[in-house]
Amino acid sequence: MTNQPVFVLGEDLQALERAEFETEAEFQELLARHPRVLDFGSPADGRPLRLVLVAREMGVPTSTESAPAYWLDHLFVDADGMPTLVEVKRATDTRIRREVVGQMLDYAANAARYWPAALLRRSFEDTCAKDGRSLEEAYGELLGDQGERSAEEFWTTVEERLAAGQMRLLFVADRIPLELRAIVEFLNRQLRQTDVYAVELTQYRGGDLRVLVPRVHGEVATAAKSPSGHRTTQRTTRADMDTAIASRPDPDVRRTATALLDHAAAEGRLECGTAKYRSMRVYYRVSGRDVPVATLSLREDPAKDDLSFAFGSITYHLGHERAAAFAAALPTLPGLAERLEALPAKGYNGWPSVSLTTLAAEPTAVEGILSAIRRLVDGQESSA
């Protein structure tokens, strides 16, 4: 891009010259206050992203027990619960060419493991308090016409998207070098769930006027990932789940899925999932708070139907000891046992899962899981 000025036509013609941002802090503050400059829309229909700031300088730990090892410049979310990680660099910073890419991938990988819903919600509400915004106003902007959704449900959706790798990575600079543009296009072709963009934000000044001109790179590669060009969001109801369960050929699988949902509906509560497949989240009241315990997912391929346990949220809400006791109380099942054994090394963070076919094949498996949930709710230690 050349340094050609832009012109404002009023009573006279005024030329605005390209101007660098004086400091990276100035650049970062601009994005935090005016995220609309990043609302370039989806590749398919141009629908605004409607980004809302969760936190500036969001800490990124590398374990559940460690302090943040990294600091992401900005974390935004959109109304669909899609997290957007933003790293800002000026063109004068040589790291904008390659080093920033590895830095961003570090952030994304660890955020997917160590940002539970409760932490995300607290960070957003702390940011609102610092900015002097009421939560009613902030959630009104964030949820819009989806205001019937609870804040807890929304942040659980964000956590689930992170865990699934469904996120948006934005490199923002006043100049995007060709090397970074090529890497962005490459990553977009390779990453199925993650969208990667480079946003060149050029500043022009003249007199009292200041003009910002964003230019987006990576849209073509993103649009090519799916026929629709973006991931659609659906909210699964219990009726949707029952219809999908009824289509499963194995009667034991049908009984297993129904028993899990019925127990949650009677003893806890169910919340609609928003994945591209049918799913519902299972909450139970533990120690005075609603804790997401598991997600039941029914895939396009019934062989991939599974129950996954939300250990990240369990650990965050109840602590490592309670999470460890819950893991020990769960039944020993093929596939699940190995994933549970790996949890201590991960600080009891993650989504260990078990297939519904495996659950259905073991007559006592469902009762074993429900027994472990009852122990968790009652605050009992495992007898295992």
pTM: 0.64
In tens, the pLDDT along 329-364 reads 999 999 999 999 988 887 787 778 999 999 999 999
In tens, the pLDDT along 202-245 reads 888 888 888 888 888 886 555 555 543 444 456 788 999 999 99
Residue of higher predicted confidence among 17 and 219: 17
**Sign of torsion, CA 164 57 311 78?**
negative
pLDDT number for residue 228: 39
Interatomic CA distance for residues 366 and 280, integer angstroms: 17
SS3 39: coil
Supply 344's token pair. 């201590």
Res. 114: pLDDT tops 60 = yes
SS3 84: strand
Strand order through the sheet with 269-272:
269-272, 278-286, 289-298, 306-309, 353-355
- Among the listed ranges 157-161, 234-238, 255-259, which one has the minimum average pLDDT value? 234-238
pLDDT number for residue 251: 95
pLDDT number for residue 310: 84
Dihedral angle computed from the Cα positions of residues 151, 154, 158 and 163, in that order, rounded to the nearest 10 degrees? 110
